Amino acid sequence: MLEWSIQSRGRVCAITGKAFADKEPCHTVLLQQDRGYERLDLCQAAWAAEGASLSARANLVSHWRGEYHAPVAGPPEAIGRDDAEGLLRRILELRDESYAAAAFVLAAMLERKRVLKVRSEVREGNRRVFVYEHHRSGDILAVADPHLKLDQLLSVQRQVADLLTNGLPAAPASESTESHEISADATVPKELVPATTSESAPPDVSSGVTSLSA
């Protein structure tokens, strides 16, 4: 799918090495490298000193200001099979192209629910990649635009509904999205039902999959 799919926020400033305090303002810089992308999280002082030079770099992809949130103490919360965020993360970790369309739809659902926020749009050859940031953890998730057409959308919606209900199969899927067998009785969540349609345009991720732009 991608050379990188998920990158976590650093717990220390990439330049000073100083640990971030909870709710401390910070700056995130995304740089294009030979293989994938490099993420740098900077404290305010480091940005003041190095921000201008970083912004002038030819390989700068994006920069945004955020707030560091310290990890919650205790064991991580278990992710249920029907959890859209957990499903998206597992799909991205699989790097299986047959789930590319499902990942795109799940990301749009989570953006609509304000769990994810688009931070950048990257062009990789002839494809478009959306860089999302998780509103709480600060994790960066890269999701490629599969250029869905209207006649594919219902099949993908049913695939997502099936995955949310039954989870991922034990082995990575080998069939394409178009040939993925979905139960006719699978219920499509209301978040996946488009309000408008277009014959050739992919879902508009700025407003979730409920809108298709021309």
Q: Tell whether the model's pLDDT for residue 50 goes beyond 50.
A: yes
**Contact between residue 39 and residue 30 where contact means Cβ atoms under 8 Å apart:** yes
* pLDDT for res 82: 46
73 or 75: which leads in pLDDT: 73
Q: Tell whether the model's pLDDT for residue 98 goes beyond 80.
A: yes
CA dihedral 113, 130, 193, 175 (to 10 degrees): -130
**Contact between residue 138 and residue 71 where contact means Cβ atoms under 8 Å apart:** no
**Contact between residue 6 and residue 141 where contact means Cβ atoms under 8 Å apart:** yes
* Nearest-angstrom CA–CA distance, 3 and 24: 30
* pLDDT for res 178: 44
Q: Tell whether the model's pLDDT for residue 126 goes beyond 90.
A: no
Handedness of CA 42, 48, 51, 53 (dihedral sign): negative
* Nearest-angstrom CA–CA distance, 115 and 109: 9
* pLDDT for res 80: 46
- Which residues make Cβ contacts (< 8 Å) with residue 117, sequence separation at least 6? 111, 132, 133, 135
* Nearest-angstrom CA–CA distance, 78 and 117: 23
**Residue 125 binned pLDDT confidence (cut-offs 50, 70, 90):** confident
* pLDDT for res 195: 42
* pLDDT for res 32: 86
Q: What is the mean pLDDT of residues 178-205?
A: 43
Looking at residue 31, its amino acid is L
SS3 category, 133: strand
- Which residues make Cβ contacts (< 8 Å) with residue 101, sequence separation at least 6? 146, 148, 152, 156, 159, 177
Percentage above 90 pLDDT, the chain: 50
* pLDDT for res 190: 52
Q: Poorest-confidence range of 48-52, 68-72, 80-84, 86-90?
A: 80-84
Q: Tell whether the model's pLDDT for residue 172 goes beyond 80.
A: no
**Residue 192 binned pLDDT confidence (cut-offs 50, 70, 90):** low
SS3 category, 86: helix
Q: What is the mean pLDDT of residues 209-213?
A: 33
Q: Tell whether the model's pLDDT for residue 85 goes beyond 60.
A: yes
Average pLDDT, the chain: 79
* pLDDT for res 95: 87
Q: Tell whether the model's pLDDT for residue 68 goes beyond 70.
A: yes
Q: Tell whether the model's pLDDT for residue 212 goes beyond 90.
A: no
Of 27, 22, 18, 25, the C-alpha closest to 50 is 27
What's the whole-model pTM score? 0.69
